[in-house]
Amino acid sequence: RGGEMVPLQIYRGAAVGPKQRNTTTTTMMRQPGNAEEENNLSLSAQKLLKSYDMLSEKEKSQLENKIQAEARASETLNPSTDLHILYLDKEICVTSKPSGILSVPGPRRNPSLASLVYDLIQPGIDLDQMVVHRLDMDTSGILVYALSEDALKQLHIDFRDRKVHKVYEALLAGHFRTAAEVEIDVSLERDPFHPPFMRAAQPKDTTNMEVIHPTFQKFIDQAPKPSQTELRVLSLEFLPQSGLPVTRVRLIPKTGRTHQLRV
C-alpha cells in the first residue's frame, strides 16, 4: 500500500483461469415484481421488464442474456483469487486478467480489475486515470494500468503510435480451411439493434434505421470506420466435451476499432 512494492508472481500456465461464478445469481431470470432486484438493473433492462408480457420469445431470451450479463458484472471480486500481478513498479502495474472480470468499472461503477489494483496500491492518481486500454469482460489477457500521470501520458502515446504489439488467440466455430493466413479488411459501424455493439457496415438502404435506444443515436449516425486484422490458423481442434469442431487462430489487429475482433 502507498507505493510499497508487491512481490512478483510467476504463472506457468498460458493464462489464469476464468473467474468462478456464483451460478445461483448468474442463471436466475429476474421476473417483474421484485423491486429490489429490478432497481439493480440498467435502465434499459428495467424498461424491457416493464413490458415483459408483450415481448416476443426472442426478445425475452435476449433480455435473459442481458440480465445474466449484468448480474455477472456486478458480482463482488476477491483480490486473493481475481488479482494476478505480473509486474509492478512506481509507474505501472501489469496484470493478467481472468475471463469474466471487467477491466474498468464503467458507468455503473461495477467491480473491476482496475478497482482491485487501485485499492491495493493506492496510487497518486484517480482510478479512472489509471486506465490505458481495456479487454472485454470475457477476454483473458495482459492489462497495463498507469500509476502516475507521467506513465499515463507516455502509455497513451505508445498506444496511439501503435508501438504496442497486440496478439490474441481465439476459437472459431467450425474448421476454417480456406487459407492458413487471411487479411481481414472490413468497415465497422454501430449496430442500431444492439447498441453499443458493432457490426460489419451495411448499405443504408437495406438498414432499418429505427434505433431501439435513442441515446445511442449520435453513435449510429457516425460513418463506418475501416478495420484491418491479420488472421493466422494455428490448429484444427475439437471441443473436449461436445466434440464440436473449432479452429484455433491468432489475431493481430492492425487498427484499434471497438469490438473489431469479435465482429
Is 172 among the domain residues? yes
Is 104 among the domain residues? yes
User: CB-based contacts of 226: which residues, under 8 Å, 6+ apart?
Assistant: 185, 186, 187, 188, 255
Residues 142 and 182 in one domain: no
Is 179 among the domain residues? yes
Is 206 among the domain residues? yes
Range of the domain at 146: 79-160
Give the count of beta carbons closer than 10 Å to the beta carbon of residue 152: 19
Asked which of 160, 181, 198 is the last residue of a domain, the reply is 160
Asked which of 160, 183, 204 is the last residue of a domain, the reply is 160
Domain count, the chain: 3
In this structure, what CATH number is given to the domain that contains residue 122?
3.30.2350.10
Residues 187 and 230 in one domain: yes
Secondary structure (DSSP) of the chain: -TT---------SSSPPPPPP-HHHHS----TT-HHHHHTS-HHHHHHHHTGGGS-HHHHHHHHHHHHHHHHHTSPP-HHHH--EEEE-SSEEEEEEPTTS-SS-TTTT---HHHHHHHHH--SS-GGGGB-----TT--EEEEEESSHHHHHHHHHHHHTT-S---EEEEEES---S-SEEEEEEEEEE-TTSTT-EEE---GGGS----SSGGGHHHHTSPPEEEEEEEEEEEEEE-TTT--EEEEEEEEESS--TTTTT-
Residues 87 and 145 in one domain: yes
Instruction: Report the C-alpha gap between 117 and 98 in whole angstroms.
Output: 14
Residues 61 and 93 in one domain: no
Question: Within the chain, which residues score under 50 in pLDDT?
Answer: 1-14, 23-33, 35-36, 206-207
Residues 54 and 101 in one domain: no
- Taking only the tens place, the pLDDT of each residue in 23-64 is 434 334 444 445 445 555 666 666 667 667 677 777 777 777
C-alpha cell at 204: 443504408
Asked which of 160, 191, 210 is the last residue of a domain, the reply is 160
CA 112 to chain centre: 11
Is 120 among the domain residues? yes
Enzyme catalytic residues: 136
Residues 142 and 173 in one domain: no
Is 13 among the domain residues? no
Residues 153 and 204 in one domain: no
Is 12 among the domain residues? no
Residues 149 and 224 in one domain: no
Is 234 among the domain residues? yes
Instruction: Report the C-alpha gap between 103 and 145 in whole angstroms.
Output: 10
Q: Which amino acid is at 49?
A: L
Residues 155 and 123 in one domain: yes
User: What per-residue confidence (pLDDT) applies to 125?
Assistant: 93
Contact 72, 26 (CB under 8 A): yes
